Structure 1
């Protein structure tokens, strides 16, 4: 048995910070992202060719622990064109109420902070193109209309992410290089405005928009017997855009200038895999996530009535962070239809350098009257703690697979190398068995025919 990894392993720990929204198999959950199935491949711009459905591939799941919103995907090969679709979450609901000449339309508060994701992938030749979007409504996202005063107040509170990713597999001298450039926009809306009788009477805008530009790289540089070595790299950059007009009344407007928050994340990694034609396979990854951030608060505000007012305390903050990454994944197949999965993610020390410059300034002229600088170094250790994951995969038939994430190991060890079982407490063996095996379990079923 040779279990192939069919997606960038860095996705396991980059997803939370990057612009990618991805369906993830229970095998991937259970092995810290180091092993995968068709569920990980069918919407991957570099790996969609691995799925190869004769007619349709589809899967259904409800998150890593089986208690989240629906995860649903379908793919079909239209001769030379591959088409994959994916949906996760629920369609946002809303309510409309009228009382005392005031009508309020608002997002269903029960789904506040829950994300709905949709994706569409086109594949042809050695190229894949993925468009994906996600929407997360926040509490208070609403519109109010007063028919007596002709006043409409709109409060936009939501997060909207739109991304485009391209993947290309290049063959140079029988060596495959996989590249995946991407671009996206992450908008965090926090804006309230009031319009009375067609005129703007109030505005408060604290929104922000992050332009995301990045790319992934993957290359198997060494293959010998059952051992494969891979070099992986991921670059993720974020460039924040702030609204210029941040406040307004019926008689004046205020614009804010000089704010900045940019981030660059570079993550190189090396992976080694041992995948013999047998029952056991193992993979390990070592990497270093390097994060550089540049943060500035505003320089000045310009009011249409009172003029320019400089920020009395201007702060410049630059941060450099190094976070090592160590992961290992294991699979064992005792019989042809059943595979057990295990993963461990270690938490070694991290290093951070922060440089801060604070200027005290004259608010009328912007003249700097005092400057204070500070440099902070922090070396944080985690004492060898780790996160573990586990599960199993049941190959019911050639075309039907049941994938499960069953976190027995994590609950048994709880991020340490010591079990959570008590010794000599006189409890029944059934209590111990219950503590070992009765935990949340997430399932996903995939079908290919």
Structure 2
């Protein structure tokens, strides 16, 4: 469920600059096979994914500005004609502001740059100066807060918004989705076919009706992507229709081997640092004598064997707010937050804190170290004041989704959000269009 917090409506401007060399793996690194992957921030090559290229960039949020107090939880997905509602904001640590530019990159269905020219998807010069920025005040950590709105586009599809310095050094990139309702998308919770899996997995059945549009060879040319909680790291790709009903002009996707099923997991863990004068939820102690302030969270324990526990969460997201001073965007301070996880034995792989706070990636700054004598994993990360959701995940190697089930367990009853993306490239064109989109909530509490 979404966490009801009041945040002011954000207003924005736009900006960008020439890009680096693309990589072939949209979710990987630029290292060659057999070579050790570069340190996370060392390689400045543009990645066509949600990515932070500089350790001074913190607290990135990309969402649809709706004017309601939960707008920061809206993923950057909008219908064609409303792309300017997508808002990007982030902090850059330090006492000196920078001249930052932004650029929009049109991508194909596989998140590689398309061959379209800028003027084929934009009506303006593809370089936008970010003019909306303010200094953080009242805290121990100096920073500047930047925000902008995405430019309007002419085509549906995948876009990458890249922010760079005036010297062309990338700072942050975010994936944006612009869709059309040219087909009828039917996405609904399904029934998992299996034994024990019916208690741990969540299945989504879906269909695509194309009666109102002419599609050439839709069974092969229509491509779909299924996501859980708007994540890309564990999304389902290359799903082919199980039934093609030509007479009804309808593609149906109903599987029996969990191709369209996700572990339900558990409701996300959480902590509240909106106040650093008094301990909030899941906070064990606060030391305001240090700079930055040191926050230690209550030690957590594995939930893999526990029964399902229902409570409201934010599906892995977070929101920034200060209860000591006014606007959380510029008045919230940073703190060194220490995570703790008690377990009698180490996991079968490296353990990380995972969530929107880590861009759903296994970052070194969120990696936990194990103390065998204490039976305790610990790790510290610099985080802005706010309310956070997260989980503990075990790394399973390059190219594999992190294992959250090991520490978090999995339950069919968990509330999660799912969305379906439907792509199609018309014959003779050079762009993958996003011709259908639908989102649905599993086990909705409202």
Q: Same fold (TM over 0.5)?
A: no
Say which structure, 1 or 2, has more relative contact order (CA 8 Å, 6+ apart): 2
TM-score band by shorter chain is: under 0.3
TM-score (norm 2): 0.25
Higher strand residue share: 1
